[in-house]
Chains A and B, each alone.
Chain A
Amino acid sequence: MTGLLARFSPVAHLAAVLAWIVPVFLSFDPGTPLLFLALSVAVVFILGQVRVTRFAGFVLPLLVLPFGLFVLNLLFTDTRGHSGSFIVLGLSMNSYALHRAIVLSLRSEALVVISVSYLIVVDPLSLVNGLMQQLGLSPRVGFSIYVAWNTIPRMRTDVTRIRSIHRIRLRGRDRRFADIVPTAVTLLAGAIRHAQRAAISMAVRGLDSGSPRTYLNEARWHSRDTVYLLANLAVTAGLFCLSVGEGWFVFGLG
């Protein structure tokens, strides 16, 4: 992890982030998502010491999702039984539709920001290592994730190459959508074979030997991880109580 967060286990931070997500997911009001959005942004900048431009580079493209939800809910919400309306740019809008659009878009925006704020500070490979050592994730699953991770750059190159080679074979004809299936089949065939070989490689090197496994890079759970997790849970509970106390929190899933 980056900045001061590097001192803590990525598993502890994952638990903290999951704790932030729960109240956001259960709320149907604008205040609660905003509180946890602010918390995640504060953690990512203060503890994670992430540059604003880098964070914005990840988050801004993803904001298309909350924006889409906003427009969809504003225009297509069932407003029967909700008569309040107002005029914007000469168009009559339903007040309930606007409220719903704001609430749902803020909720999705908070979920996007919280997720990005985790992904941007955590090294995925350290997370897998932490999950294997601290949460008992099966090494077979953990190392399979490593293999998949190593394969991603190769697959990306392969997609471009396969499509170019198909284009040459078809005398420059770019089949676009028609080429998706053959390209996917070729990639899948290669990936399956790669996975089979990797599975054999893992097996012959004793992954399933049954003896207790040790780790070169031990990722122990320290007392500071417990403190970090408890502090986060306390802050989460505090913010949730604040939201309820102020009358902001409204329970709702849809």
Chain B
Amino acid sequence: MEDYSGVLIRSEHLTIRYPRATAPAVENVSLEVLRGDRLLLLGPSGCGKSTLLFAMAGVIPAHVSATIDGSLVRSAGRIAVVLQNPEAQMIAPTVELELAFSLENSGLPAAQMTERIDHALDDFGIRDLRHRSPSTLSGGECQKVSLAAAVAGGPEILFLDEPTAFLDPRSTRSFFTLLQRVDRSITIVMVEHKIEFVRNFVDRYARMDKPNGSDSSIVETGLVSDSRTADTLTPHYWFTGFEERLEEPRSVFPASMSTAPLLEIDSLHHVYPPATVALHDVSLSVYPGETVVVMGPNGSGKSTLLDRIAALSDGGGKAARNLDGMRIVAGKRRRAASIRIRGRDVRRIPGHTLYSLLYLIPQNPEHLFLTDTLAEELSVQGSDGTAIAEVTERFRLAGLESRNPYSLSEGEKRRLNLCCAQLDPRDLLLLDEPTYGLDASAIASLVDLLVLFRRAGRTLVIVTHSPELAHLVADRLIILDRGTVRFAGPPGELLLSPDPSLREFLPHWSNVQAPVSREEGSEA
């Protein structure tokens, strides 16, 4: 523990209420943040962690309307906030100007700004991004830039609101490694669900919850070093019951199958102009009733693979640019790639036939929405009232029928997407990053629904970054890296794999996924 020399934030009996909300978002919270603190706010989704963080940062009520009762005193002057969504906090036209933004706002002379920016670019290893436009950065790069920009401003307190929610495991690990480099003199308050990464970084935690249905408040605080906190800071805490889910019987494909594959991909290549190889000689068969999960770091070609299956890219004038299986790979001519569903080439099936065979749930759940209410969304496919009532009950959407789909929570939007897919069953269901932006409890809820799909014999191809989801629902796991297949087999085989580079695809309960250590962070 560090030697604290003062209280930077003190809240006493703090209650925060949003306009038109029936219950307060946060009730009767008393908490102190000390100088040099590294404090974690944790708790289930919707318990008011981000609200409390924003109030401490002064965002509420200055920029987000809410009423605050009780006392909240902040003695720190300079603050910085890193938000959840990496893209949304990029403001300036270049990375350099992004780092300069808060320095410009504080009136720093240009020469000093350059010095600080140089320092931050070097500290966070992003000098090569200096003149890039933020719109060309990956999510992980955006968050590195956001962190560098926040620290470049020389804050006394840094607030982080689930900064890795939209990042894949590799980028998350990289982000926490960078976070270790932040000077200890900067106090850090963060909301984060990825306990396995954060527990080696923070000193103290405050757990929020709604005990017995009461209003949300802090129910427990403690030191991370205290052995009695082990249960609270275990990832299992947020993923209860995973052992039972793992016991679900899995099918072994293709050995147990006597039928032909539903989906066959043969020697697939994809190149984005001018010469970025997204997929390289990918071959894969998916059998009826099978659940195949595709994992891999950002840019490994996962989403491109789904797009190709759904015939959303390629074709027409773009085909030549895709160099589809003909001209790449050290100049060798290869046989033309093919993607077949029920033995028919997807490029040659008319749209209405192809899309009677497959359904795609996109990464952004709102992209599927067509109407103004949840009830209308569920009626789009012409399902009868009984079927709709049954699925809304099963997918825990009952009572929300009159709500606008855009007003639902992220977890509810995902469940609505699955509801629509359930009401319009097709041979093949493709899911692109269904856990994107969801917290651990929402992921757990989603896993249960996907298990239902698997039990019902639906054929699923799921692209995800979540090792937990993959290991709980997959019959077969495919790991892509730089467009090539690095692993293909049942999830259990991955647990036994001696290849250390595959560790990031293991779930937290495997106990072999080395979290970021303080030493690793300080050395890096």
A233 within 8 A of B: no
With A168-B355, A200-B64 already in contact, the answer to whether A146 and B362 are too (CB < 8 A) is: no
Query: Bound complex: CA of A111 vs CA of B293, how far in Å?
Result: 57
B117 surroundings in chain A (CB, below 8 A): 216
Q: Across the interface, do B89 and A203 meet the contact criterion of CB distance under 8 Å? A: no
> Which stretch of B94-102, B388-396, B452-460, B473-481 is in the interface?
B94-102
Q: Across the interface, do B310 and A168 meet the contact criterion of CB distance under 8 Å? A: yes
Interface residue ranges of B95-127 to A (CB < 8 Å): 96-97, 100-110, 113-114, 117
B351 surroundings in chain A (CB, below 8 A): 167, 172, 174
Query: Bound complex: CA of A197 vs CA of B350, how far in Å?
Result: 41
Q: Across the interface, do A172 and B350 meet the contact criterion of CB distance under 8 Å? A: yes
Interface residue ranges of B26-70 to A (CB < 8 Å): 57-59, 62-64
Q: Across the interface, do A217 and B83 meet the contact criterion of CB distance under 8 Å? A: no
Q: Across the interface, do B369 and A216 meet the contact criterion of CB distance under 8 Å? A: no
A217 surroundings in chain B (CB, below 8 A): 97
Q: Across the interface, do A169 and B59 meet the contact criterion of CB distance under 8 Å? A: no
A138 surroundings in chain B (CB, below 8 A): none
Q: Across the interface, do A211 and B104 meet the contact criterion of CB distance under 8 Å? A: no
B101 — nearest CB in chain A belongs to which residue?
A205
Which B residues form the contact surface with A (CB < 8 A)? 57-59, 62-64, 79-81, 83, 85, 87-93, 96-97, 100-110, 113-114, 117, 133-135, 149, 153, 310, 312, 350-356, 358-360, 362, 364, 366-371, 380, 406, 420, 424
A245 within 8 A of B: no
Q: Across the interface, do A143 and B370 meet the contact criterion of CB distance under 8 Å? A: no
A56 within 8 A of B: no
Query: Bound complex: CA of A139 vs CA of B92, how far in Å?
Result: 11
> What is the CB-to-nearest-CB distance from B523 to chain A, in angstroms, rounded to a whole number?
30
B92 — nearest CB in chain A belongs to which residue?
A146
Query: Bound complex: CA of A37 vs CA of B100, how far in Å?
Result: 41
Interface residue ranges of A135-168 to B (CB < 8 Å): 139, 143, 146-147, 149-151, 153-154, 158, 161-162, 164-168
Q: Across the interface, do B90 and A216 meet the contact criterion of CB distance under 8 Å? A: no
Q: Across the interface, do A216 and B97 meet the contact criterion of CB distance under 8 Å? A: yes
Q: Across the interface, do B108 and A189 meet the contact criterion of CB distance under 8 Å? A: no
Q: Across the interface, do A154 and B91 meet the contact criterion of CB distance under 8 Å? A: no
29 residue pairs bridging A and B, Cβ less than 8 Å apart: A125-B93, A139-B105, A146-B92, A146-B93, A151-B135, A158-B367, A169-B359, A169-B368, A169-B370, A169-B424, A171-B352, A171-B355, A172-B352, A172-B355, A182-B370, A186-B366, A194-B87, A197-B83, A197-B85, A202-B91, A204-B59, A205-B102, A209-B105, A214-B103, A214-B107, A215-B104, A216-B103, A216-B117, A217-B97
Interface residue ranges of A192-220 to B (CB < 8 Å): 193-194, 197-207, 209, 211-218
Q: Across the interface, do B369 and A167 meet the contact criterion of CB distance under 8 Å? A: no
B359 — nearest CB in chain A belongs to which residue?
A168
Query: Bound complex: CA of A209 vs CA of B101, how far in Å?
Result: 12
Q: Across the interface, do B355 and A211 meet the contact criterion of CB distance under 8 Å? A: no
A238 within 8 A of B: no
A166 surroundings in chain B (CB, below 8 A): 368, 370
Q: Across the interface, do A143 and B106 meet the contact criterion of CB distance under 8 Å? A: no
Q: Across the interface, do A211 and B106 meet the contact criterion of CB distance under 8 Å? A: yes
Query: Bound complex: CA of A126 vs CA of B154, how far in Å?
Result: 28
Number of interface residues of A (CB under 8 A): 51
Q: Across the interface, do A214 and B108 meet the contact criterion of CB distance under 8 Å? A: yes
With A143-B92, A204-B57, A214-B113 given, name 18 new contacts (CB 8 A).
Answer: A146-B91, A153-B135, A161-B367, A166-B368, A168-B310, A168-B358, A171-B352, A172-B356, A189-B406, A193-B88, A194-B87, A197-B88, A201-B83, A201-B88, A201-B91, A206-B153, A211-B106, A214-B104
* Contact with A205, one of B80, B133, B134, B364 (Cβ below 8 angstroms): B80
Query: Bound complex: CA of A209 vs CA of B85, how far in Å?
Result: 23
A3 within 8 A of B: no
Query: Bound complex: CA of A182 vs CA of B372, how far in Å?
Result: 9
A68 surroundings in chain B (CB, below 8 A): none
> What is the CB-to-nearest-CB distance from B120 to chain A, in angstroms, rounded to a whole number?
13
With A153-B135, A213-B107 already in contact, the answer to whether A169 and B420 are too (CB < 8 A) is: yes
A173 within 8 A of B: yes
- Top 10 A-B pairs ranked by shortest CB distance? A172-B352, A197-B88, A172-B351, A206-B105, A201-B89, A216-B100, A172-B355, A205-B102, A204-B81, A203-B63
A125 — nearest CB in chain B belongs to which residue?
B93
> What is the CB-to-nearest-CB distance from B375 to chain A, in angstroms, rounded to a whole number?
16
> What is the CB-to-nearest-CB distance from B413 to chain A, in angstroms, rounded to a whole number?
11
A202 surroundings in chain B (CB, below 8 A): 91
A182 surroundings in chain B (CB, below 8 A): 369-371
Query: Bound complex: CA of A25 vs CA of B155, how far in Å?
Result: 53
B310 surroundings in chain A (CB, below 8 A): 164, 168
With A212-B107, A213-B105 already in contact, the answer to whether A190 and B352 are too (CB < 8 A) is: no
> What is the CB-to-nearest-CB distance from B356 to chain A, in angstroms, rounded to a whole number?
5
Query: Bound complex: CA of A199 vs CA of B88, how far in Å?
Result: 9
Which of B354, B358, B406: most chain A Cβ within 10 A? B406
A206 surroundings in chain B (CB, below 8 A): 102, 105-106, 153
A188 — nearest CB in chain B belongs to which residue?
B406
Q: Across the interface, do A205 and B366 meet the contact criterion of CB distance under 8 Å? A: no
With A143-B92, A189-B406, A217-B97 already in contact, the answer to whether A165 and B133 are too (CB < 8 A) is: no
Query: Bound complex: CA of A217 vs CA of B130, how far in Å?
Result: 14
